[in-house]
Amino acid sequence: MGIHWVIVITVLIIFIQVGLVSKWGLKNIYYTRYFSEEAVFEGEEMEMVEEIINKKLLPIPWLRLESRFHTNLQFQHQSNLDIVDEIFHRSMFSLMPYQKIRRRHRITCKKRGFYHQKTVSLTIGDLLGISIYKKKLNVTTQILVYPKLIPLKEIPLPYTSWNGDVVVRRWILDDPFINAGIREYTYGDPMKRVNWNATARVGSLQVSKKDYTADHQLLIYLNFDLTDDVWKSIEDEDLIEKGISYAASIAQSTISQGINTGFGCNSYIREPDEKVRSVKESVRIEARSGKQHLYFFLNTLAKLKMDRSRNFNHFLKEDIDREIRNKDILLITAYVSEQVQERIEELKRLGNSVEILWLEKEGKRQGDREEEGDVSVL
């Protein structure tokens, strides 16, 4: 066979495979992607699993998948994964007929948040790269990253001192030996508090009422204000993130002990497909207990925007207008304006207990605040 026939046949094969790839290459390619966990805590690792199937006789010489991920989801470098500027992630595949490939990528979740990806770009080409074809796939994946939990002993919880040396952290500690009668079972009450003797006598579930600390509702409020200027962006995001971690850590402890715990803040939540609203609603969680409530609590904290819906003065005024009473309010804040101080006093006059957990920058002592003239509200 002459050299010219070799050239002709080679060119013919090239054009045939180009034609086959152009017509059939993108057909019957199925791709799925999912995370190994629905939610993790900040700093933890998880896996992202990719599965791609070529359901046809035509092999795919090469296939590239490109997607954009937030920089807070840190991928471990792998031979089959190209990472560009810690944002764009490219996976390369070569598929034989009816072949299925599954790959696992390790990811470190560096920061709290709700991460949502909707699309991935698929690119295929022939053996020589003469022709390239692209397609956008709708592949929705999402992951919730909960705030980092901090040991309670590392949180500067407010306290009430009796005789100068007795510290009572009444939201964290419950006295199981003090009973104050019985009442009907309500949703969220732990089974360990069911009074079976009273239940048998009355004919419906009854629970033992504990002392003041267990019976009252705890509301954890987080102030996103660092100044009075509501239009000013949050400059110290790390300080607010610390407050979110404080709220998550305290709630995890109190809810697990059966203490009804709620939350509120002057930030807001916006779901990925939700339109931007001109008036943003503040975040409020009703005080309850139980495992499902804890999950809802953490989910909400993960989705909080680093922004404000209104200033904290107006947030507290909503409670005053509703005339809430007999609540234990733990206020986590780095700043208290004169107006907020007035709202605190109004809440107290309504019969609520208000204490402040100060947010301090790293290395700043409580004594430094007192020297500046700021005094916590007890």
Q: Tens of pLDDT along 285-322?
A: 999 999 999 999 999 999 999 999 999 999 999 999 99
The arithmetic mean of pLDDT across residues 131-160, rounded, is 86
The arithmetic mean of pLDDT across residues 348-367, rounded, is 80
| pLDDT value at residue 14 | 60
Q: Encode burial over 125-147: b for 16+ CB neighbours within 10 A, e otherwise.
A: bbeeeeeeeeeebebebebbbbb
- By mean pLDDT, which of 34-38, 85-89, 169-173, 231-235 is the weakest? 169-173
| pLDDT value at residue 376 | 35
- By mean pLDDT, which of 98-107, 118-127, 358-367 is the weakest? 358-367
pTM of this structure = 0.75
SS3 state at 236:
coil
Contact 101, 32 (CB under 8 A): no
| pLDDT value at residue 200 | 79
| pLDDT value at residue 188 | 59
Share of the chain above pLDDT 70, in %: 74
Tell whether the model's pLDDT for residue 241 goes beyond 80. Answer: yes
| pLDDT value at residue 275 | 67
Tell whether the model's pLDDT for residue 112 goes beyond 90. Answer: yes
| pLDDT value at residue 213 | 44
Residue 251: pLDDT band by 50, 70, 90 thresholds?
very high
Question: What DSSP letter does each residue of 282-319 carry, written as one string?
Answer: PEEEEEE-SHHHHHHHHHHHHH--SS-SS-HHHHHHHH
Q: What is the DSSP letter of 193?
A: G
Which secondary-structure segment (H or E) carries 171?
A: none
> What is the signed CA dihedral for 180, 186, 191, 196, rounded to 10 degrees?
60
More confident residue, 48 or 89: 48
Residue 119: pLDDT band by 50, 70, 90 thresholds?
confident
Domains and CATH numbers, the chain: 26-146 (2.60.40.1530), 152-175+215-371 (3.40.50), 181-210 (no CATH)
| pLDDT value at residue 371 | 42
As a whole number of angstroms, the distance between CA 43 and CA 260 comes to 28
Mean pLDDT of the chain: 80
